[in-house]
């Protein structure tokens, strides 16, 4: 079962919860928009169902309210920010704005944020580049949840990569993926829905296929062995070593480059997510060619992919970002879809804080 809530009302509701916890209006609104965007784009693993992790972080003091990020190093086309433990979405949003401003002046720019917190979907920040005729990049490391090929212990995070590229008539390309087979949020969704994990997603403490999401989440939390497999799955036959390599690359750009913790040194607590680091980038298309001609070629490429013949039994071919954008368009008509469990969870938080509940459509 599920409920539908208008996107605007859901953003306002989550913003009000954050404000009731002591966040200023600007930070609360950015955080609410990022979380709601995930649900609107059909990515519930990173949506308002994760509100408990943010509130837990605020309650435990892991996510700071009375701290301001500081600049460690800055050049005309780069910046390194020490988030000093503040909420992930606001510092990430503002850093991406600075990155885009620098890229506008210099042609390209890259930034790191260290000692931050979970920032929602990586694609949200990469897509900020689209309206400025730029290609946007975002990465983040996470708590160590991934098991290397031929291993049994977690050594790196789900470490997502996002890239957004503008187009003209077609829906923009937006790759937003974890470098593990799935994210921890997807495991949490299976646990909430009491579903068995598909074979090939994760391994147990012996390095063998895991099926129980609850047991896997518990074992990963206490580092008892087992974790999520790299993109490509078990072994090298289907390219698991490639996902492994990408996950380590994200740790290098986010954490090693900024002087932050990486690999197994990044760990969650029972109450909230780990302190993590991010990487942002932007390339100004006009430094390479006319943006309108570039977007026309992107239209042609994306149209070719979208119109490719589907396999027998399949309806159509999707390129990266197409499903999510279509979900977002549908939400503008029918509202954001939330599972009953998520709805109950977030409205219980609101009741505890003396707030009403959003109107169900």
Kindly tell me if the per-residue pLDDT of 189 is higher than 90. Answer: no
Residue 359's pLDDT is 87
Six-digit token pair at 96?
């991406």
Structural contact between residues 80 and 73, judged by C-beta atoms closer than 8 angstroms: yes
Residue 272's pLDDT is 79
* Phi, psi for 172 (deg, rounded to 5): -60, 150
Kindly tell me if the per-residue pLDDT of 221 is higher than 90. Answer: no
| Segment 11-46, tens digit of pLDDT | 999 999 999 999 999 999 999 999 999 999 999 999
pLDDT band at 111 (very low <50, low <70, confident <90, very high): very high
Q: Which region among 139-143, 180-184, 320-324 has the lowest average model confidence (pLDDT)?
A: 180-184
pLDDT band at 183 (very low <50, low <70, confident <90, very high): confident
pLDDT band at 263 (very low <50, low <70, confident <90, very high): very high
Kindly tell me if the per-residue pLDDT of 273 is higher than 90. Answer: no
Average pLDDT over residues 254-282: 93
For domain 2-289+335-352, which architecture applies? Answer: 2-Layer Sandwich (3.30)
Average pLDDT over residues 182-198: 90
| Segment 49-90, tens digit of pLDDT | 999 999 999 999 999 998 999 999 999 999 999 999 999 999
Average pLDDT over residues 321-349: 96
DSSP-derived pairing of the beta strands 70-75 and 78-82 = antiparallel
Residue 270's pLDDT is 77
Nearest-10 Cα torsion for 100, 36, 332, 303 = 50
Cα distance between residue 299 and residue 261, in whole Å: 40
Task: Give burial (CB, 10 Å; 0-12/13-18/19+) of 289.
Answer: exposed
Which one is predicted more confidently, 220 or 107? Answer: 107
What are the structural domain ranges in the chain? 2-289+335-352
Structural contact between residues 302 and 167, judged by C-beta atoms closer than 8 angstroms: yes
Average pLDDT over residues 168-178: 97
**Residues with Cβ within 8 Å of residue 51, at least 6 apart in sequence:** 14, 17, 35, 345, 346, 349
Could you give the C-alpha distances from 275 to 23, 75, 267, 272, 291, in angstroms and in order?
18, 25, 8, 10, 38
**Residues with Cβ within 8 Å of residue 227, at least 6 apart in sequence:** 144, 145, 146, 147, 153, 154, 202, 203, 216, 219, 220
**Residues with Cβ within 8 Å of residue 75, at least 6 apart in sequence:** none
HSE at residue 72, side-chain half, CA atoms within 13 A, is 15
Residue 261's pLDDT is 95
Average pLDDT over residues 292-321: 98
Residue 1's pLDDT is 81
Structural contact between residues 347 and 331, judged by C-beta atoms closer than 8 angstroms: no
Residue 226 falls in which region: left (phi positive, over 0), alpha (psi -120 to 50) or beta: left
pLDDT band at 92 (very low <50, low <70, confident <90, very high): very high
Listed in order, strand segments (DSSP E) in the chain are: 2-5, 70-75, 78-82, 108-116, 134-140, 161-165, 173-177, 202-203, 227-228, 276-284, 336-339
Cα distance between residue 15 and residue 27, in whole Å: 9
Predicted structure pTM score: 0.94
Residue 148's pLDDT is 95
Average pLDDT over residues 233-242: 92
Structural contact between residues 205 and 219, judged by C-beta atoms closer than 8 angstroms: yes
| Segment 113-162, tens digit of pLDDT | 999 999 999 999 999 999 999 999 999 999 999 999 999 999 999 999 99
**Which uninterrupted H or E stretch holds 216?**
helix 213-221
The string over 235-251, giving b where at least 16 C-beta atoms fall within 10 Å of a residue's C-beta and e elsewhere, is: eeeeebbebbbbbbebb
């Amino acid at each position: 079962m599920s409920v539908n809530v208008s996107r605007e009302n859901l953003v306002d509701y989550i913003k009000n919860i954050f404000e009731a916890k002591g966040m200023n209006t600007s930070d609360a609104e950015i955080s609410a928009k990022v979380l709601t965007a995930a649900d609107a784009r059909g990515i519930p693993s990173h949506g308002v169902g994760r509100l408990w992790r943010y509130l837990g972080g605020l309650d435990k003091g892991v996510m700071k309210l009375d701290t301001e990020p500081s600049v460690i190093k800055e050049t005309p086309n780069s910046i390194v920010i020490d988030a000093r433990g503040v909420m992930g979405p606001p510092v990430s949003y503002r850093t991406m704005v600075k990155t885009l401003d620098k890229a506008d002046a210099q042609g390209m720019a890259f930034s790191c944020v260290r000692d931050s917190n979970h920032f929602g979907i990586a694609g949200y920040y990469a897509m900020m580049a689209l309206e400025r005729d730029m290609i946007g990049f975002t990465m983040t490391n996470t708590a160590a949840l991934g098991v290397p090929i031929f291993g049994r212990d977690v050594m790196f995070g789900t470490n997502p990569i996002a890239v957004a590229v503008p187009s003209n008539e077609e829906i923009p390309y937006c790759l937003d993926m974890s470098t593990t087979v799935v994210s921890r949020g997807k495991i949490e969704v299976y646990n909430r829905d009491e579903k068995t994990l598909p074979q090939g997603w994760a391994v147990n403490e012996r390095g063998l296929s895991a099926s129980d999401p609850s047991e896997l989440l518990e074992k990963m939390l206490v580092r008892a062995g087992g974790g999520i497999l790299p993109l490509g799955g078990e072994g090298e036959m289907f390219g698991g070593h490639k996902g492994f390599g990408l996950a380590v690359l994200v740790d290098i750009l986010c954490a090693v480059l900024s002087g932050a913790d990486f690999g197994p040194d990044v760990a969650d607590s029972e109450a909230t997510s780990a302190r993590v680091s991010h990487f942002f980038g932007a390339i100004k298309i006009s430094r390479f060619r006319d943006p309108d001609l570039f977007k026309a070629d992107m239209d042609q490429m994306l149209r070719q992919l979208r119109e490719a013949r589907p396999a027998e039994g399949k309806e159509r071919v999707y390129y990266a970002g197409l499903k999510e954008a279509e979900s977002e368009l549908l939400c503008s008509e029918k509202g954001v879809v939330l599972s009953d469990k998520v709805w109950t969870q977030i409205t219980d938080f609101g009741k505890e804080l003396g707030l009403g509940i959003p109107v169900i459509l």
